[in-house]
Chains A and B, each alone.
Chain A
């Protein structure tokens, strides 16, 4: 894709071609990010497609996707680079037999051959190729220290390795950060980024997503699934189901050759939607209560009030 000719529409359409349904506001933010060279911080509930958009965009831009999954205790050795110690030691041992002078050995074992490149260094060292999409996933799981370190990398897009020198990105990678908000991201990092909150999809959007991913799903059932999802997202579950769950459910129902939902099959397959015992329990209560109007969901799914669950 030619970067100079991209527009908000072209981004939205090419994402759509690759089966990622996104609204104009997300497309605008992605567009701005590509043009401004600024990272995007995506927040939203689990399973609304935060990670997916980075993957799809890499495909659109026809470039590599480099993914850095964050976890507690992630440090710069794992994220940036590390010296290949065993290889260095072996080299030293081998050199003991030979008679080369110490200095040349030293320069050698601290050359790039002995450097193990980790995702961040990978993303910056493009060697003239198209800049990759760098996905820093679930940043909220990493420690605060790592965040501070990331701040440094994301502001200059350069990395200094004392023994080798400074490596600078000739073209900035397209950076996506995602967070599930298990804790707050530091303000300084947020300021470096464009921010976008991905909502749960509306009824229509979710319907479109199902029909795009699984065109063989019967229309009635797709509507019923969406109506069910819209309703339960407005209730107080521990983990509200995301789009990922919707799609799992749809594909499970397809496997079972279902053309329509009925109360029985909902009970049998609801494990696709709720993954916590307390939530399953809660659902049972709701099903027997009157808040979850199954009749209406099954018979007139299109009339179930959509809108974004907050």
Chain B
């Protein structure tokens, strides 16, 4: 059996190895390179597991019904976005049986915001909000009077956000809450 040199010398060898890896990358030129792949190796089983998880999640991109809503509800390990506020306004259409409801969510760091609700089968694709220049997202939805509706916002296709300004929050049966409006 052989013992390696003392710690200082080992560290010196490690640093030399690190510099050699950088030189190998430079030797590959200005194009792409995998020169550091040998030094910065990745567990192949973890790589496959991650790839499988990605494919499973993208395969759930379109959700239908309440079970689909459950698939869209993900507990974020780290809050990536700051949801400041939302504003719900009603434009009474006077005399008609339909009310145009204006849903707005302030989420300046979001890439996409969808409105998922019981009136669209909890779909992430049916009511996609549009981004405004000030970083808020909005959509106007005509809804019938005389009914109550449950809804929430889905940010970046994976984070469920109930309306923080809604005075009515209901247990959605999956450990979270959804908002409700009555017209």
Q: Do A and B interact?
A: no
